[in-house]
């Protein structure tokens, strides 16, 4: 499960990498992107054959939701159940996106405390999470674009890095 990530890159880094048409002037690099504090996360969608970056709320609010609080429970979508769950099954084929990041946090138990481990590429270059997005309308008619990150079981490299004490980056509180 991805509950926090970093987006410390400059917008120009992702603009070139994902062939984005225009700037996103309100983007600011962040070391701690968390669902509860992140209504403005850069997300790349493909519209009319063009890659476009938009700022979205992390926590998918399906277009049919009566209440936006469902987004608190839909920050992640398990790849294994995407086509089964009502929040995701109707958008999995038409509302895909990527979420640029340059690292994410996983927690490892050390005695009684949990230590955040910052996982990133050795080059520290941006990469992307696969995601889904949707548009929900507030009662006043305003649009709220939101997304979820698709997760799956960790691969062998992640298991080795996190559970055999071989850390990429360790952040002590």
By annotation, the residues acting in catalysis are 2, 106
What DSSP line would sit under 18-74, residue for residue?
A: TT-SS--TT---EEEE-GGG-S-EEEEEEETTEEEEEEEEES---TT-SSGGGGGG-
How distant is the alpha carbon of residue 36 from its chain centre?
A: 13
Question: Is-contact 113 107, C-beta < 8 A?
Answer: no
Distance from C-alpha of 58 to C-alpha of 22, rounded to nearest angstrom: 22
Both structure tokens of 59: 């926590």
Dihedral angle, C-alpha 7, 8, 12, 15, nearest 10 °: -10
């Amino acid at each position: 499960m991805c509950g926090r990530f970093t987006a410390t890159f400059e917008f120009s880094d992702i603009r070139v990498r994902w062939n984005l048409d225009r700037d996103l002037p309100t983007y600011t690099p962040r070391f701690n992107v968390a669902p509860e504090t992140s209504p403005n996360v850069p997300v790349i969608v493909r519209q009319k054959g063009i890659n476009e970056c938009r700022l979205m709320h992390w926590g998918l609010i399906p277009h049919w939701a009566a209440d936006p609080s469902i987004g608190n429970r839909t920050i992640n979508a398990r790849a294994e159940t995407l086509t089964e769950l009502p929040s995701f099954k109707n958008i999995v084929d038409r509302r895909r996106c990527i979420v640029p990041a340059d690292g994410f946090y996983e927690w490892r138990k050390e005695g009684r405390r949990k230590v955040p481990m910052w996982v990133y590429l050795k080059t520290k270059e941006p990469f992307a999470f696969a995601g889904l997005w949707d548009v929900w309308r507030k009662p006043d008619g305003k649009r709220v674009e939101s997304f979820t990150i698709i997760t799956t079981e960790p691969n062998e490299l992640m298991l080795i890095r996190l559970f055999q004490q071989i850390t990429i980056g360790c952040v002590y509180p």
